[in-house]
Amino acid sequence: MTVASPAAGTEDTGGRPVVPGGWLGWVTSTDHKRIGLLTIGTSLVIFLLMGVLALLMRSQLAQPDLHVVDPATFSQLFTIHGSGMIYMVLTPFAVGMGTYLVPLQIGAPGIAAPRLTLLGYWLYVLGAVLMLSGFATPQGAHAGGWFSYPPLADKVHSPGLGSDLWIAGVLLATTGVIIMGWTVLWTVLRRRARGMTMLRLPVFCWSMIASCLMVIGAFPALLAALALLAVGRADASVFTSNTWNIGYQHLFWFYGHPVVYVMFFPYLAAVAEVLAVFSGRRFFGYKGTALSLLVFAALSMSVWGHHMFATGQATNDYYSLTSIALLVPAGVEYFGMIGTILGGRIRLRTPMLFALAFIPQFLIGGLTGIMVGTPVIDYHVTDSYFVVAHLHYVLFAGSAFGLFAAVYYWTPKVTGAMLSERLGRLHFWLLVVGTNLTFLPMFALGYQGMPRRVATYASFDGFAWLNLLASIGAGFLAVGIGVFVVNVLWTLRKVALGRSGNAGDDPWQAHTLEWATSSPPPRFNFAADRSLPPITSFAPLLDLRERRASGAAVGAEQEGASGS
Amino acid sequence: MIQRRVFGTVFTLESAVAAFVFLVVLALVCHAVVRRRAGRQPTPSDRPQRPVLEKYYVGVLAAFAAFLVAWTAWQNHEEHRPPNRTPVRVDVMGFQWCWKFGYPQSPAKVSVTGTCRGKDLPTLVVPTGRPVELRLTSNDVIHSLWVPDLRYKMDAFPDHVNTFTLTLDHEGRWRGRCAEFCGERHYAMDFWIKAVSPEEYDRYLHGQPIGTGTGTAT
């Protein structure tokens, strides 16, 4: 280990004792596990709020010409739903997972720069609160969409205070995520235990390397875009010029495409870990997958213009080339996942169910992604419900399923208690039905001509029954998420009451180092009296079990030989 | 309607390939779940990778990607080939929240707009069989002109003119919409595009309303 662990309980608190278990102990903690859990917990709470906004939208769109909410409110709903899910849920959750898991997986006692990490978390919380507080202002929250193109988002066309709060909130939250991304990357590069070479890093750590590289490389472009928007709100003449309008789009999407992969890789890698563990074998095609993540991250920096095919101001051939090229690294990742389960011995526990559903569902998002990366198809389907369906297959049917796989898989490590398997299965099936019922009809709606972000539609448009199906699906999603919340709260309550029963250090027979310590792990991750297992590959615990099994077999053989 | 034809060709091919890939992956997942369940006592494979197979696989993927990029780029250029005769020009202006269609070549300086409230939708009149060049702009925020039946849209920016050419081969009336979110009444920013015979179009440019041309006999 490269950092000396201070003796437990002697953290510098400026002279005043802070009770470690108290709320102050939590919100000022420099323990990466607590910062990670705070981030994950905060993003899950915002996730529920954003889900409520989505349900309001699906109620409004369930039938033509409804007036559940007025158009101005509807615009706020989809703006905050999109902004919240992207800036405040899926991205921070991914980085929060990295904050919690990366030091454990590499055998480190802590994260690099823990105070900075904590600062990142608080900037994120502050940003989320600022953005949401827009609902409390007279004109309501920001209503310019999650990418807020000027001139619509300038002071003339969006005069409300909510827009200013949105800019400030997204800026702060993104700054926080950038800081956290830095410390996670620093940790995985510089804080690895002895023996943990780069090619012995778990797949999840590789995904965090790729994600953090994109965070560092691309997220500052969002800060620049937001700064441009802020300047334009101060001086309205800025956005009378086409240069700055199209310039904003370039800046924004330079961030806006890599962020999709930041919201994808960590969940993909969580799925990869789950697939390998519940297949009882090491992940197949490890090197190819690690390399493909890096290639993917590099290419992601060159594809932004495919969001601008219909602007008439982008080099469509070039962006189409780089976008379609992404199918190569994506195909390599699928090769690894499919190869893992084809040669496995599959245990269908809840995390595995979510991981298995991720494979075909995310694939729908990926394959339609190639379509929207093709200019002649994109001209028709961009800014329509086809794109809404595509991005929800990527981020919900894909990433959110990976998120739930991760939650079910790592909860026993984090809390020491298992989530209910029965409720988990119910959650899973409700979510599979709800996801596909909600988002599959949207492909047809977009194809038939329903633009995205419409507050309502006419009865003669012929969109009614597909929208109704989508809204019924949203009901399934609501119930499914409700079951999940009950499951989590129930388990946490049992833990608090001490009635949970102990899940043990390694309930799943997993492969990576976080399962070689107690559940939950001690303050500095690995107790001093318990040495790390030898790190012989990216699956050290599997190696250990295999050595023990072969050792036992050899022992039994020798015993048999000496007996004859 | 070259846009619709090209879209149809490319969308059909990509959908077919996508459906095939999806079914193969789904079949593999189902196969694994059924045949490799722990209950059937399979032995987990200890083969960590298959580099040779993976290399061939990457080769196939790269070749397919190269084909797709080249072929669809070629289709895109076909779609945007300059028309072989001088197009009719229409100036399209998007505004919050409706459209204005101006005919600069018309002797009567015909210009059409509406409120996009209720049934008051403006109609973009074009001749059949002749290329029509739309010059798109906006006088406030970004809009996007989308004719779903044409399978094509293009954004209308303030301080910028985008152009595209369309040719409608038969008479009819289609719905057009705004696709780029542009504020509160974005959902209502619709228009009609109506293709009429070149003769009727000519009369239209001289200021006669559509549909009244045949009865005038003085």
Query: Tens digit of pLDDT for each residue in A221-263?
Result: 999 999 999 999 999 899 999 999 999 999 999 999 999 999 9
**Amino acid present at A241:** S
Q: For residue B46, is it within any domain? A: no
Q: Is residue A400 part of a domain?
A: yes
SS3 B93: strand
Task: Give the CATH number, domain containing residue A491.
Answer: 1.20.210.10
Least confident residue range of A15-24, A132-141, B177-186? A15-24
Report whether pLDDT(A42) > 80.
Answer: yes
Best mutation target among B52, B120, B153 (most A Cβ atoms within 10 Å) is: B153
State residue A380's pLDDT score: 97
Residue A19 lies in a domain: no
pLDDT attached to residue A559: 65
Do A328 and B7 lie within an 8 Å CB cutoff?
Answer: no
Say yes or no: B10 and B104 in one domain.
no
- Mean of pLDDT values over A75-87: 97
Q: Residues near A385 by Cβ (< 8 Å), separated by ≥ 6?
A: A442, A443, A445, A446, A450, A451, A452
Query: Inter-chain contact B58–A331, Cβ cutoff 8 Å?
Result: yes
Q: What is the dihedral of CA B196, B202, B204, B210, to 10 degrees?
A: -30
Q: Which of A432-446, A481-495, B77-91 has the lowest mean pLDDT?
A: B77-91
Residue A35 has pLDDT above 70, yes or no: yes
pLDDT of residue B217: 37
Provide the domain limits for residue A406.
28-557
pLDDT beyond 90 at B62: yes
In B67-118, the DSSP E strands lie at 88-95, 98-102, 111-113
CB A363 within 8 A of CB A342: no
Q: B197 in a domain, yes or no?
A: yes
On whether residue B217 sits in a domain, the answer given is no
Tens digits of residue pLDDT in B157-170: 999 999 999 999 99
Predicted local distance difference test score (pLDDT) of residue B207: 87
**What is the model's pLDDT at position A416?**
93
**What secondary structure, in 3-state letters, does A181-247 show?**
HHHHHHHHHHCCCCCCCHHHCCHHHHHHHHHHHHHHHHHHHHHHHHHHHHHHHHCHHHHHCHHHHHH
Write the pLDDT tens digit of every residue in A372-412: 999 999 999 999 999 999 999 999 999 999 999 999 999 99
In the predicted structure, residue B213 carries a pLDDT above the cut 50: no
CA distances from A446 to A14, A301, A442, A453, A505 (A): 59, 28, 6, 12, 49
Q: What is the pLDDT of residues B65-87, one digit of tens each?
A: 999 999 999 999 999 999 888 99
Q: Do B68 and A384 touch (CB under 8 A)?
A: no
Look at residue A128 and tell me if it is in a domain. Answer: yes
pLDDT for the residue A500: 80
Domains: count for chain A: 1
**C-alpha span between A259 and A147 (Å, rounded):** 12
The size of the A-B interface in CB pairs under 8 A is: 235
Q: Are residues B103 and B204 in the same domain?
A: yes
Same domain, yes or no: B126 and B195? yes
Provide the token pair at A404.
């739930």
Residue A6 lies in a domain: no
pLDDT in tens, A201-232: 999 999 999 999 999 999 999 999 999 999 99
Let me know the angle formed at the C-alpha of A345 by A339 and A349, rounded to the nearest 5 degrees: 105
Closest chain A C-alpha to B170 CA, distance in angstroms:
21
pLDDT of residue A564: 45
Return the percentage of chain A with pLDDT > 70, whole number. 96
Closest Cα in chain A, distance from residue B111 (Å):
25
Report yes or no on A18 lying in a domain.
no
Contact A157 B54 (CB under 8 A): no
CA distances (Å), origin B168, targets A522, B155, B165 = 72, 20, 10
Mark whether B180 and B154 lie in a shared domain.
Answer: yes
- Is residue B44 in a domain? no
Total domains in the fold of chain B:
2
Distance CA(A334)–CA(A318), nearest Å, equals: 25
In a domain, A12, yes or no: no
Shared domain for B112 and B65, answered yes or no, is: no
What does the pLDDT read at residue A384? 97
Confidence (pLDDT) at A14 = 58
The pLDDT assigned to A562 comes to 56
Domain extent for B64: 2-38+52-79
Q: Is there a contact between B22 and A448 if contact means CB atoms under 8 Å apart? A: no
With beta carbons under 8 A apart, name residues in chain A contacting B61: 327-328, 331-332
* pLDDT digit string, tens, across residues A450-469: 999 999 999 999 999 999 99
Please tell me the predicted confidence (pLDDT) of residue B208: 87
Q: How confident is the model at residue A12 (pLDDT cuts 50, 70, 90)?
A: low
* Average pLDDT of span A181-195: 96
Per-residue pLDDT for A87 more than 90? yes
Name the residue of chain B whose CA is nearest to A460's CA. Answer: B175
Residue B10 falls inside a structural domain: yes
Establish if A4 belongs to a structural domain.
no
Asked, for residue B216, whether it belongs to a domain, the answer is no
Query: For residue A461, what is the nearest residue in chain B, using CA coordinates?
Result: B175
Given a cut of 60, whether residue A1 has pLDDT beyond it is: no
Backbone φ, ψ for residue A147 (5° rounding)? -100, -5
Residue B8, pLDDT score: 96
Residues B62 and B109 in one domain: no
**What's chain A's average pLDDT?**
94
Q: Are B171 and B196 a contacting pair, CB within 8 Å? A: yes
pLDDT in the model for residue A2: 45
Residues B134 and B193 reside in one and the same domain: yes
Predicted pLDDT of residue A531? 86
pLDDT value at position B119?
A: 87
Same domain, B74 and B147: no
- For B109-154, the pLDDT digits (tens) are 999 999 999 889 999 999 999 999 999 999 999 999 999 999 999 9
Q: Report if residue B218 sits inside a domain.
A: no
Could you give the CA distance from residue A371 to residue A193 in angstroms, rounded to a whole number?
44
Is ipTM strictly over 0.90? yes
Residue A433 domain-assigned (yes or no):
yes
Query: Average pLDDT over chain B, rounded to whole?
Result: 93
Residue B109 within any structural domain of the chain = yes
Both structure tokens of A446: 């977009």
Per the CB < 8 Å rule, is B65 touching A327? yes
Question: pLDDT (tens digit, 9 = 90+) per residue, A507-550?
Answer: 999 999 999 999 999 999 999 888 899 999 999 999 999 999 98
pLDDT bin (cut points 50, 70, 90) of residue A54 is: very high
How far is residue A503 CA from its own chain's centroid? 26
Q: Residue type at B57?
A: Y
A355 vs B contacts (CB less than 8 Å): none
Give B43's contacts in chain A (Cβ within 8 Å): 345
Measured distance CA(A341)–CA(A437) in Å, rounded = 27
Tokens of A449: 């001509």
- B33 and A346 within 8 Å at the Cβ level: the answer is yes
